[in-house]
Amino acid sequence: MHVPADEAVTQSPHSIGQDVPADGLHDVLDELRTVTLDPAPLLLGVDAHVGDGLSSETVLSDPGFHIGQPASAGQGDEQHAILHHEGDVTDLGLCTLFDRVLYGSIDGPPITLYFLDGVTDLPYVEVNDWGEIISSDGLGVFDGAGVEIRFSVEEDGPVVTFTRHNSDPASFDNGAPMTVDFDKDTIEFKDYNVFCLRGGSDSLIETTTMSGYNDAGEPTLLEKVDKGSFMRYGNSLTFDLGAYGIDLIQQDGLYLIPLQTLSDILMPNTARGCLFFNGQAVILTADVGDAADVYYAAPTGERSEALADYGYKELCMMLDHFYGLKETHRIENFQRLFQSIGFEDLLKGDDVKQADGAVYRLITDFLSDGHSHWLGFSYLTGPFEYEARDAANEWIDVNLDRQEEARAKFYPNGIPGYEEIGNTAYISFDSYMNMLQPNDYYEMDPEDYPEGDVIGLIIKAHAMITREDSPIENVVLDMSANCGGSDSVSTLVVAWMLGEANPSFVDMMTGAMNTNAYRFDANLDRVFDEKDTLAGKKLFCLASSGSFSNGNYVPCTLKASGRVTLLGRATAGGACTILPASTAWGTSFQISSNVCKSFLKNGAFYDIDRGIEPDYALTSPESFYDRVALTDYINSLP
């Protein structure tokens, strides 16, 4: 699968998972579920292949399962009866819905699943099959920017090594290994970030994917600058599955790994989705709600004892490694957390509804960080009514409601995206989003840019502010009701305000650090220079306690620069990117990931999860939108 670096339907996961209020500039799309096209998730079908083998007592009544011969003596202490289930691909397009990231349609590869000891709800994948699935000729989830990524698989006794191969022989990620030890039950990465890179990326942690060139070799919108860009490699990383009681199976010449384990470790950070198995198909999606017609078509029922036991252990392993706010939430490990809050028995028990309810309440009661969200119940239960209070989102919602009510008093028909009050220009939008390919902004008449497209708004605002005989002395960026959105668009806005943006990220799991420097071609002349900046203007930013995620990052970065005055109230925080997540029994949710957005100051990375205090406080929501009075106040500031 090939993903253009300048994909239009915004790029990277960094936004609050809730409905952002509609407002004068535009009706903001639902952050979690809405895209501008109507694609389908990838469906890997599992059709019937029946053969000779074990007695029918070990078989599901569904004839779609092929029963292999009883396991002969071989590697490992415990031998398993291996159930072999092979299927063809249903012809559906691949679409992973995650913060409005859209991948192009492809035909998925065949997939072969293995089942042990008659347990048919806990699938395994053979390592050679997995290498083909994730390579460019398979799902191609690592491909990008015209670069193909393939993986070779080498077996050496109990050790299997996956080696990464980039179609660009000079690329620094060539040769990156993933080593699986079936004796020790470990999966080891010399460098996890390098192994999981999307093709074409030259940074360890890259969420700004809009920079690059058009087909004519001309630069478009954002230019990455070598000076000021740097990265620090992370530590080697070992997933000690054995410590969690998760077994890898080497037997009869097969090397088998649970499908859920491979999905948890590799898919969310590359495909930005999870693999869901519902007894009938394997579906790649970030949210089962986007594949509900297929996912919930499977019969409901109970889960096996083996699935309940493995699913609990796997959930603990995944959260221990990939939840980015463990230290902030004082979580030593999730096994201990589940025991201390009484969830262990619920998550390991026979009742799938209770297990799903425990995951739901984990998110709303104990994570409650604004980015972590519930998405969908297991296919085994089907959708059902369940509600729990989410304190973080309620707090953000209350503050947003106050801002919206105050704004409506002054702008009952909606606040304009661009407005001039005397010598002051105001730019307002509630979500970082774009609707066009980067080169479209050069080819279209700005008057034809879609309503709600933030990049188009900034381009038009820049032309107004810098026009001949412009009266504008002050520029105010209004983030008072902004709940986040695309990292690429937020980077572009910062680059416009400051002349250069330096988004920085820290991987809390590996220790990798990354800063990139970008400039924005605001006047669309394909030259990145001082004409694209707001040089000579006094710069301000409005933020409130409803400003979250990238609506928090931008005010934090602008204030930290020392060149922008922050007005309003303390922001709502939100630092981690979003990671799609799932349980082995099919629950769908998202968490604050191991990648934390930061700002760089004096050579150090500072996360922004707690938000930031303003330079000057505004005492009421109304004071944000009485712009005549606010303009007078701004002009009175030193």
Q: Strands 186-189 and 237-240: what pairing?
A: antiparallel
Retrieve residue 170's tokens.
């000079």
Share of the chain above pLDDT 90, in %: 53
In tens, the pLDDT along 576-599 reads 888 999 999 999 999 999 988 876
Which residues touch 529 (CB under 8 Å, ≥6 apart)? Answer: none
Q: Please enumerate in sequence order all residues whose Cβ is within 8 A of that of 531, keeping only pairs 6 or more positions apart, or say none.
A: 466, 522, 523, 525
C-alpha 325, offset from chain centre: 15
Residues contacting 636, CB < 8 A, separation 6+: none
Q: How far apart are CA 279 and CA 301, in angstroms?
A: 11
Which residues are CB-neighbours of 91 under 8 A, at least 6 positions away? 107
The rounded distance, in Å, linking the Cα atoms of 123 and 85 is 9
pLDDT at 389: 65
- The answer to whether 12 and 486 have CB atoms below 8 angstroms apart is yes
Residue 93: is its pLDDT beyond 80?
Answer: no
- Closest by alpha carbon to 481, among 571, 608, 574? 571
State the pLDDT confidence band at 391, using cuts at 50, 70 and 90.
low
pLDDT at 230 over 70: yes
The CA distances from residue 233 to 149, 186, 194, 389, in Å, are: 20, 22, 9, 40
Burial class (CB within 10 angstroms; exposed 0-12, middle 13-18, buried 19+) of 638: exposed
Report the b/e string of 32-47 with b at 16+ CB within 10 A: beebeeebbbbbbbbe
The 10s digit of each residue's pLDDT in 131-149 is 888 887 777 888 887 889 9
Residue 568 has pLDDT above 90, yes or no: yes
Q: What is the pLDDT of residue 368?
A: 86
Distance CA 18, CA 11 (A): 18
Q: Residue 379, by phi and psi: left (phi above 0), alpha (psi -120 to 50) or beta?
A: alpha
Strand, helix or coil at 407? helix
pLDDT confidence bin for 19, thresholds 50/70/90: very low
Determine the Cα–Cα distance for residues 123 and 249; give it in Å rounded to an integer: 12
Domains and CATH numbers, the chain: 391-636 (3.90.226.10)
Q: 275 pairs with which residues across the strands?
A: 284
Q: What is the pTM of this model?
A: 0.79
- pLDDT mean across residues, the chain: 81
Highest mean pLDDT among 55-59, 90-94, 269-273, 375-379: 375-379
pLDDT at 45 over 90: no
Interval 148-200: pLDDT, tens: 999 999 999 999 999 999 998 989 899 999 999 999 999 999 999 999 988 87
| DSSP states along 126-139 | EHHHHHHHHSTTTT
Q: Give yes or no for residue 46 having a pLDDT over 50.
A: no
| Dihedral of the alpha carbons of 627, 629, 630, 636, in degrees to the nearest 10 | 150
- Best CA proximity match to 6, nearest among 441, 342, 308: 441
Give the model confidence (pLDDT) of 252-279 as tens digits. 899 999 999 999 999 887 767 899 998 8
pLDDT at 30: 30
| Order of strands across the sheet that contains 42-45 | 42-45, 281-285, 274-277
> For residues 553 and 40, which has the higher predicted lDDT (pLDDT)?
553
Q: Name the percent of the chain lying above pLDDT 70.
A: 81
pLDDT of residue 397: 80
pLDDT digits (tens, 9 = 90+) for 462-519: 999 999 999 999 999 999 999 888 888 999 999 999 999 988 888 999 999 888 889 9
Higher pLDDT, 597 or 342: 342
Please determine, for residue 48, whether its predicted confidence score (pLDDT) is greater than 60. no
Residue-level pLDDT at 396: 80
DSSP letter string over 184-238? TTEEEES-HHHHTPPTT--SSS------SB-TTS-B-SEEEEEEEEEEE----EE
At 217, the pLDDT band (50, 70, 90 cuts) reads confident
The pair of three-digit structure tokens given for residue 443, joined into one six-digit string: 């080819």
Pick from 151, 154, 236, 238: nearest CA to 188: 238
- Among candidates 403, 404, 470, 421, which has minimal Cα distance to 630? 421
- Residue 633's contacts (CB-CB under 8 Å, 6 or more residues apart) are none
109: confidence class by pLDDT, cuts 50, 70, 90: low
Q: Residues 6 or more apart from 312 whose CB is under 8 A from it?
A: 344, 347, 348
Query: Is the model's pLDDT at 451 over the cut of 80?
Result: yes
CA distances from 500 to 99, 222, 491, 495 (A): 25, 10, 9, 4
* Residue pLDDT, tens place only, 277-320: 988 888 888 898 888 888 898 999 999 999 999 999 999 999 99
Alpha carbons 334 and 328: distance in angstroms, whole number: 14
DSSP string, 141-191: TT-BTTB-EEEEEEEETTEEEEEEEESSTT-TTTT-EEEEETTTTEEEES-
State the pLDDT at residue 28.
25
